[in-house]
Structure 1
Amino acid sequence: MFKHGFFAVAFGLMVWLLLDYQAVDRENTLTIGGPFEFTSQDLAKDGYIYTRLQVAESLAEVQPDGTLAPKLAQSWSVSDDGLVWQFTLRDDVFFHDLQPMTAATVVNAIEQALEKPGVIRQLPLKSISGVGHTVTLELEQPFRPLLSIMAHYSLAILSPDSYDADGNVVDINGTGPYQVAVLAPPHKLNVARFGEYYGDLPEIEHLHYLTGHRAESRALQAESGQADLIYTLDPASLDMLHRSEQVDVVSESIPRTVVIKLNNQHRFLDNKEVRQALSLALDREGISSHIVRVPDSQAYQLFPPALGDWHLSELEHQDRNLELAQGLLSAQGWYRTSSGFLEREGERFELNMVTYADRPELTVIATAIQAQLREVGVDVSISVDNSSAIPARHHDGSLELALVARNFGTIADPLAILLEDTASHKGSDWGHMNWSSPSLNDTFAQMMTAQGKDYTSLSQQAAATLAQEMPLIPVVFYTQQVAVNKRVNNFVFDPFENNYRASEMSFVD
């Protein structure tokens, strides 16, 4: 086993060098590594990598505290009835192909996004128009999280010449402080400082990004100094990196929750008492302390404390209760056989759980859950696949269970994410599957026009419904672990994972 691990890591380092990831001008290049591939310039699919590297920008920007700030729009307003939104654009912005940004170019980018799957499809959009430096969106009905939608990476604004005649992005020209220099999907993306940027020019001239799937390889790249920033470290690497004299490890809570996604129409899972029993069988404290190695990260609800309006303070702790879990399963007709597993009407309670290795702790958590559910007689097999297999199995109906890290901060207001989840009974790729709640839909409808304390009260009501019905079972709140080389000055972490904020960093003299 050791030999195989050594050669895998060595091979990963060799590939890194063969791909010419090491910067020529090391002194003014920030090297970044992470686990996720990108395969295109399509913002709806891979836009996150272009906003993280500050190539593309949207009208508004999510701040580290979750608030929304102006970006390409310097201000906005909404009519009293909530139907007309107006965005006043900056007048000093140029795309990387040196075309000026105008209302017409912004309208074009939004119209291109409307032709593809994505969060913008949620908008009850009646019309969009632009004159001078003002863009106007008229809605069929009020939609409270519109601004959060407009800040999403899929709504980044590109120049008209970025698109071909069919609307495909073939030459990405954004407005950010960095422009694409080398694009080699699925692993390599190099960007260079854009001299005509409207804001302060970054001190760091080049960013080099490379995807590395193996967590051990990424950790060695950090420890050896081949990379300046490595995102999504596995817990097993932390001790080595904490001992390194040239690396700091930054641990930050983010609005992402590790959850068990269930097929809620599966004959074993179509009852909330069964889902609650599975939840009660989980040893979340053990997973928190010994697997992810972030004490007190256990999750008994979907929304972490960072999402204050949605977090239920009364659900911050619940004891594991195998006896109650077994009682709930027994009430649903399940009985234990001599094999130690549950049966009902001649069928064993057995399920397959799919997960993926891009987030290295997921496979270890899945193995722990397998053992914990076996204690109450549930037989779980584990399949490790590409992350894309989970949406695929959702759509073809073959998914039974999946362990995923669900980002509830992709859009600043979780309401927009939940509206996508509940748009149909089938659910969404990373949200719940084959479940719906008329009462939850009614709560969301009320939230569209609610403000202040009314909105908070309704958020709590919606969160409580999800906690009781448990169409997704929360396990632990996610903590992002980042290795930061000590030559990096003013490292900034974005808990919403929209922006690496390299333009705010520099190198130690």
Structure 2
Amino acid sequence: MSGLALAQSGHLYQKLQVIETLLEASSVGQPAAGLATTWSQSPDGLRWQFDLRPGARFHDGSRVRAADAVAALQAATQAPGALSQAPVAGLRVLASADGRESLEILLHRPHATLPSLLAHFSTAVLAPGSWAPDGRTLVRILGSGPYRITRLEAPQRLEVAWFDGEGGPAPQIRRAGYLAVGRAETRALMAASGQADLVFALDPASLAKWRRTVSPARLASVTVPRVMALKLNAGAPVLSDARVRQALSLAIDREGIASAILRDPGLAATQLLPPTVPDWHDPSLPPLTFDLERAAGLLRAAGWRRSADGRHWRDVTGQPVTLTLRTFPDRPELPIVATALQEQWRQLGLPVRVSIGNSGDIPLGHRDGSLQIGLMARNYASTPDLTASLWQDFRPGGHDWGAMGWQSPPVWDALAALNSGAGLDRAAALRRQVVQGLQRDLPVIPVAWYRQHVAVSRRVQRPVLDPLERSYRLSALRWTDGDGAFASRGKDHT
């Protein structure tokens, strides 16, 4: 939570159910009703109509109007808004004989991932009262979700309370508090001491200790479409040959990293996305493996030669090869994995300098061209349909957290065709084409998949975690009295 704006903290407002988007997403990424309860598209795919939920109200009590949604979507068509990826030709309010609020999105060409983009937090609809009189400065967050903000102290604390503006049954969780805690050890201590009811992002070391001790909390886990990966500057001469990138991949002992650092050998990445994302996981692909001998052979095939002492490599121009890897400590495992990679590549004969900075260094290095290798954790479910995220990362020109200097017209064409819409059989073939191209060329090198681990206090029933990490699902949580029975008390939830 780095500021008030949706671009900075919208993901948190969405997780706490403060804001709403026109559409939501099911656990498998399919479009679901949000502020819009019904929607349809024209036969040519160029016009989409959305009908808003009758009686929807903002947290200041004002009615949600189609004009408010149009204003929100108009803002989201500008970068970094998600709708900047869509070929939007126009937005307009539709007249309705029955008084229902409806709007229409007009497109220059069909765009199949539009429903997914409309579930992104940057498209959330806010009340006009959220803005200063100039209409440009955001001064408060007045959403339409089941919880309203009662206290906001960026960057650490946010408190919400149930909003009963539309009537209906109240959830068991009437109030909740969110606290951002940077140190993984502190989060684990809060869970163990019962200071919080839900604690997210437990690190591997804390998990290992957790499993060896008796704790007042339980553990809930779900595999998520988040990948620890190496972003490579394929435009740099030293990394432009796919055989060099393949050699770097072959020199990575993923099972060792997953077992020793992540404490979960099942998280060793054999391709970009895990089997829990079946549309984008191809079980027939040869898996990414560890083989130093093959790695050295690929470097020789790329024209590299051993130095006179036989310990290091010279590239095709005869220059000694030294690489720099950038990463950041926002996720505590990243610097540790970076050190492991440094040692594993040293065994191949490649000296690597590890630079630990902040998360903004990788996008900055992409933009100014200075990045060689970046170790990152990339969430591919920022939009429910992963097509949109993959297009953003691997389109021509690449992306801050995606490809850099990489050229692959077949992958670009396949992603563009998926964006435009394709039948089920053709879409499956196009996805395979993308997955195979990424596995072959390795513009990013997958290292490990992620499992979200959450400590759950015994005051609440074990939650069903969101595999897309879009929501904490506060409104669905239930209190327990210790015997599994529901409690009707209006407790706070932290």
TM-score by shorter chain over 0.5: yes
Q: Give the equivalent residue in structure 2 for 1:260.
A: 230
What residue is the counterpart of 1:220 in the other structure?
A: 189
Q: Deviations over 1:434-485 (max 9, x none)?
A: 2132122221232222021211111111111111111000111111111111
CA distance in 2, matches of 1:116, 1:442: 23
- The answer as to whether partners of 2:271 and 2:288 remain within 8 angstroms in 1 is no
Deviation at 1:319, TM superposition (A): 3.4
Structure-2 residue corresponding to 1:147: 115
Tell me, yes or no, if structure 1 residue 295 matches structure 2 residue 257.
no
Residue 124 of structure 2 is matched in structure 1 by 156
- Structure 2 residues without counterparts, runs of 5 or longer: 95-99, 482-494
Equivalences for residues 29-428 of structure 1 within 5 A: 38-131=1-94, 132-164=100-132, 165=134, 167-197=136-166, 200-242=169-211, 243-315=213-285, 317-337=287-307, 338=309, 340-344=311-315, 345-425=317-397, 427-428=398-399
Residues 241 and 248, structure 1, Cα contact 8 Å, conserved in 2: no
Name the CA distance, whole Å, in 1 between partners of 2:77 and 2:136. Answer: 10
Matching residue of 1:7: none
Counterpart Cα distance in 2 of 1:495 and 1:475:
20
Which structure 2 residues correspond to residues 459-498 of structure 1 after superposition, within 5 A?
459-498=431-470
Give the letter aligned to residue 245 of structure 1: S
- State, as a whole percentage, how many aligned pairs show the same letter: 41
Match of 1:440 among 391, 411, 416: 411
Q: How far, CA to CA, are the matches of 1:130 and 1:100 in structure 2? A: 15
Tell me, what secondary structure is at the counterpart of 1:480? strand
State the Cα distance separating 1:339 from its structure 2 match: 7.1
Q: Check conservation: 1:349, 1:377, Cα contact below 8 A.
A: no
Deviates more, 1:442-451 or 1:92-101: 442-451
Stretch moving more, 412-421 or 177-186 = 412-421
Report how far residue 321 of structure 1 moved: 1.3
Contact 1:44-1:113 at 8 Å conserved across structures: no
Quote how far apart the aligned CAs of 1:280 are. 0.8
Distance 1:239 1:419, change over 3 A: closer
SS of corresponding position for 1:347: coil
Residues 45-87 of structure 1: CA deviation (Å, up to 9, x unaligned): 3210100111111111122222221011101111111111111
Instruction: Give the Cα separation in 1 of the matches to 2:387 and 2:62.
Output: 35
What is the identity, as a one-letter code, of the residue corresponding to 1:267?
Answer: P
Q: 3-state SS of the aligned residue for 2:335?
A: helix
Distance (whole Å) between structure 2 residues aligned to residue 179 and residue 93 of structure 1: 14
Query: How many pairs are equivalent?
Result: 471
| Partner SS, residue 196 of structure 2 | coil
User: Structure 1 regions of 5+ residues with no counterpart?
Assistant: 1-37
Q: Mean Cα displacement is larger for which, 464-473 or 116-125?
A: 116-125
Q: Within 2, Cα distance between the matches of 1:316 and 1:272? A: 16
Contact in 2 for aligned 1:294/1:479 (Cα 8 Å): no
Q: 1:481 to 1:397 in 2, by over 3 A?
A: same
Separation of aligned partners in 2, 1:167 and 1:437: 40
Q: Provide the TM-score with structure 1 as the length reference.
A: 0.89
The SS at the match of 2:176 is: strand
